[in-house]
A and B are shown apart, each in its own frame.
Chain A
């Protein structure tokens, strides 16, 4: 799973969000390292919907503009949990090996 996809799913893990909310949340989760643009975001959302990992929750009209909210599907939550566990396991292995080698790398 690509990092942007992982971060989008993570942004939706806390609840449904609209496009701009996801973009802001992804920037916050990644400490500003990943800044999605609208084209990239909607390309990823389209792919995730096709794969059944997210779905449309609801729509709102705010100041005459459409906001569409997305949410994780049960498959999406499962996929995110699997991927997060994999990252955690890899990170734990890396940290343990760095520890064996004499501490954290500088």
Chain B
């Protein structure tokens, strides 16, 4: 195998990290640029080139495909990230306030045994904490989906909001006396962020990304030497 063929194969391997759509449209031209920039006799991609291709591919997979002009969509995505951070804070606060919660429960039910407390931890607190951690994933998934222009994400997020708000209201009606204040405060804050996100989301105009839909059809010419 010649140096050029080996190098091209190496670059193609790294370009597989990019999203399929990008590869379909741009792989050939990126390869042209990579080959044009290679040193004479270079047989494989250099470490810095690999790092650059990998980080750029990762950024293309993760970053929202929303034009800067679509401020509502970008604001909705920002709110999703804030929501993810708050949800993580909820998980931490639940763990950090277990002792306060126990003392509140003991105040309202002085006859509570260790076994009953253990049952509350396993049956209620642990699922709440796991739920908060899973919700971090849901927020990030929603941010990614809105950034990719998936309309169904609005419906999924509205259902997620309905579930969370009903869970909060149920908690306030039935167990607010035993909740630690930080738990309540952060849960209410989270619901406000969700409400803001839902409001913004339903005002967003979600359209397919411009790079695919609005692309000018270029002229293709063949160089006389080529």
List chain A positions with a Cβ less than 8 A from chain B.
18-20, 23, 37-43, 46-47, 49-52, 55-69
Contacts and interface: CB of A to CB of B under 8 A. Distances in A.
8 contacts: A38-B52, A40-B56, A42-B56, A46-B26, A52-B214, A61-B222, A65-B31, A65-B35
A66 B215 CA distance: 18
Given A63-B226, A65-B32, A50 B210 contact: yes
Contacts of B63: 47
Interface of A, helix, strand, loop or mixed by DSSP = mixed
Given A37-B48, A50-B65, A52-B69, A19 B29 contact: yes
A59 B221 contact: yes
Given A50-B209, A58-B218, 18 more contacts: A18-B33, A19-B32, A20-B32, A20-B36, A38-B34, A38-B37, A38-B52, A42-B30, A43-B56, A46-B211, A55-B216, A56-B218, A57-B218, A60-B222, A60-B223, A62-B226, A65-B31, A68-B26
State the main secondary structure of chain B at its contact with A. helix
A58 B193 CA distance: 46
B49 interface: yes
A28 to B, nearest CB: 15
